[in-house]
Structure 1
Amino acid sequence: MFEGGIIIIKHYGKLVRNTAHLTDETILYQGPGVLKDSKGKWYCRQCATPNQHDYYTYTSAFHQQTITYCRRCLQLGRMDTVQMIAVTETAHYKSSGEYHLDFQLSQQQAYASSHIIRAIQTQEMLLLYAVTGAGKTEMMFEGIRYARQAGLNVAIVSPRVDVVVEISKRIIEAFSHEAIDVLYQGQSQKYCGHFVVATVHQLYRFKQHFDVIFIDEVDAFPLAMDPLLIHASASCYSHIYMTATPSKHLLKQFKKENIITLPARYHRKPLPVPKFRYFKFKPQRLQPYLLKLLQKQIENKRVTLVFFNQIEAMEQALVHYQKYFDDLAAVHSEDALRFEKVEALRAGKHRIIFTTTILERGFTMAHLDVIVLESQTFQAAALVQIAGRTGRKLQDTSGNVLFLHNGVTLAMLSAKRQIQRMNRLGFEKGWLDAEM
């Protein structure tokens, strides 16, 4: 186990420490966030990007000097040659790790939980190849308890802010006695980082700090596209990766015995299988078929997510269909009110939501169906994740998944086959109820 971990804490001017919470830290470095290394190249204390194109130099009239800052990790807060930061080392701290769970783990969840504990004990990498709705969050609980009782620093990270918000609520509710930092853009650190739920970018703040990292949705953007983000988590003893749609490249990185396939949902009902229907979508005008389809959804008292591949097309269509559904709303990644709209959807204020792939992961709701417009333009992994929004709740284990397309693609067929294969595997293992 590491003797200590390093945390970067940004501040302006004189160092200010929150002595109410950060009582076990030792200052290792105090100085600018960007400086030159021994070879005369720029170096960022936060993300350590070696790419010199990530650094920008300009002359500040206010400071009356030349300033260089790092553009790579700017969204975490600016690192430059003027503003001072502190790098601190924190001691390990044991806690009870106790949690509350008001149901018993399924056979499959207990199987995965035991493998997680073993991976932490043996300091190995583990991949949970688990279908959407398998109950991955609850599978982590025993592993987290073991780690915290041993004084190991734990992080649960995801590439998506929306997933972090969703997971953090469940983690905080279950581990009510733990000091948990929830970190994403706009949120500040309150404790010493012994137990953290965060977006993966926040790992830039921590160097050699975490002993156990759970990485949810490891295949999602931007983690799958950014090698520096993978490097930020690399100095950890135990990595537990979790996804429903692992790439071939990801699967090759694990020993066969360290890939745990979990084909069943916690409620033991099969995954809804997508249906295909030809439909040439035209966002510029109202289309009777789509209008009747949405009206029937409301008559059946179902909530509907309608997925679009482009924000512009979604906004064009919204104008036409809002005339018929006064509570219709649209949400996308650039929407400043996206969190409020999602909460309103959960509260029953919207029966239909137009959305981009921002809701393909991390969203759970009962009585939910999904419609994918122009499904021929989506990748297989996205289609599997979208289909996985349905049938997740115990009170509503089925759901309709409709791919409206302008020609069936290999990606659509692959998504359907992946879902069918997981259902077959679930029945074979006895983790799904007997077929009717």
Structure 2
Amino acid sequence: MSDESPLIRSLRAAVAAAPEDVPLRLHFTELLLAEGRHDEAVTQAAVALQHAPGDEAVRDLMVRAMQLPTVGAQPPAFDWASAEQEVSDVVGPRFAADPADAGDATEAPLTSDGSGDPADASAWDIDAPGEVRLADVGGMQEVKDRLEAAFLAPMRNPELRKLYGKSLRGGLLLYGPPGCGKTFIARAVAGELGAGFMSVSLSDILDMYIGTSEKNVHGIFEAARRQAPCVVFLDELDALGAKRSRTHHSGLRNVVNQLLTELDGINAAQNDGVFVLAATNVPWDVDLALRRPGRLDRTLLVLPPDAPAREAILRYHLRERPIESVDLGKIVKATEDFSGADLAHVCESAAEYALLDSARTGTVRMIGTKDFLNAAKQIRPSSESWFASARNVAMFANDGGMYDDLVAYLKKKRKL
């Protein structure tokens, strides 16, 4: 912004240094309006509303920044579409991405010269150990406890591993309804282990040329072994490792065979430090060979967020929205069985109600509890269809107690 005046630059720096100073931000917003910077003035006024939602001066300034008419004024040709667009910049994008799903896909594998040779393990990007921990996962204490007991505790205690002859490796399958944070949990596990993280999906592996898909699978695991400790996260395992008896495409069958080879390779001592986590919404469609002992032999059911988790998710999605006197307890109660993605949708819909109401009346108002409750009434939990299918599996295909945790949950919810 080279065309800014020295005063604007100075005030911008002062506001950044004192973000909670509402009078200073209002003065800065007035100067922005004077220079015709209405978009930026709307943003600054919205932040001021967060800190002083009941301040009439702040609300009046927001109206002026948005160039909305005052109450009683009836301009003959007001551009409502333009006003909605300006407000949408303040309340965030219309469709928010789920944070438990953000960053799932990796880029297409390329070597340093751009040739994309799948045989080169250095072609695969591995994220450095992140700062996400299980403590960052809101609620879901039962899931955390099971992760700690069945997976993390043995990995954290080298003396106990040595005593019991357990090597530093493992495989875990996360399953459950879509949008419930399986990817986020996988990243949290990597953070707990201080391990790198590589997310792999079908598009990263499948190739039109014969033999290349298998080379891609091998390259992924080779990269993980070279940069151990590393978590290899196989997203949508039902697509990567579908039952070979139902797969007519030879390329997909070969991918499953190669996955089995690599998972068996984890039994070798030199492969310690490679942790394989996988996620699927339909574990009953995964090839049974992938779930045999020594491979993805441990499973964890990831259910829709419980009440503490729903509150944490709602707080996350509302952290930058202009809200006022929101009763989170009522919203949490009204959103039972909602997935994380459903909760994001509720927040988007509530913001949209307030946005359109402000545009129609010409008076900016905060998002309130009523907006969220109305949104929750209009949205059906996306997990319902999943549980309808899972119920049949739990009743008629629970061979060897594979889905005992699912059966217990359905009985608890009186759905079985």
TM-score of the superposed pair, with normalisation by structure 1: 0.32
**Structure possessing the higher relative contact order (Cα contacts under 8 Å, 6 or more residues apart):** 2
- State which structure, 1 or 2, has the greater radius of gyration over its C-alpha atoms: 2
Q: Which has the higher helix share?
A: 2
TM-score of the superposed pair, with normalisation by structure 2: 0.34
